[in-house]
A and B are shown apart, each in its own frame.
Chain A
């Protein structure tokens, strides 16, 4: 049951597309896998696409927030893409802002933003 979330590498950037509802184990596994892969590939940035996700609770939000902070500590930049309107509203109502991360409408925009940021 614990399918792992695939992490793809494209040049210096890792791309993660979360395709189905996250259970707690998968989320924690993902955090570990991503950090390992960052270390191994010396990636400079990560794009996490959440387009198919229809809700995020405080637990998943914490895992995401931790991933963002840890990735930052490892010297890489993160862009989160595809947060749905309903998810954005529930996150705000939960009091979760994810204020230290870049966001973009979709994967394509997210990669653009990331590359621009890396060039600067």
Chain B
């Protein structure tokens, strides 16, 4: 069993591929339908942000354990322009593209752990984890 799998995000179709991978991994890891939907949705948001704002990047999905807990970790990384104001993008409704601005704050609510590292001009890495309860 592969503990880690990944999808390169280059075209719009890769967004679909990434969330399909996520859905399958979530199912295999034993998540229920609601958590499967949460994980799939989170991946879709992160992959689309890469496609829209960074041009290309990568979604990695990994099984993780910690102290007897099991979970799925998603790492979304790109070498795009970075996010200048992290606080702003975590607000509901903030968008530079006419979107709903629901993606980033939404992913944070859908998942259990959420971390953004971003450097202007160098890229963005978002790491987010969902634990099996």
Contacts and interface: CB of A to CB of B under 8 A. Distances in A.
Contacts of A59: 44, 48, 99
Interface of B: 12-13, 15-16, 19-20, 23, 33-34, 36-38, 40-41, 44-45, 48, 92, 99-100, 102-103, 105-106, 109-110
The size class of the interface chain A forms with chain B is 20 to 34
Contacts, number: 79
B106 A93 contact: yes
13 contacts: A24-B12, A25-B12, A54-B23, A55-B44, A57-B103, A58-B45, A58-B99, A58-B100, A93-B109, A94-B102, A95-B100, A95-B102, A95-B109
A36 interface: no
Given A57-B48, A95-B106, 8 more contacts: A25-B12, A54-B23, A56-B41, A58-B100, A59-B48, A61-B100, A62-B100, A95-B105
Nearest to B102: A58
B19 to A, nearest CB: 7
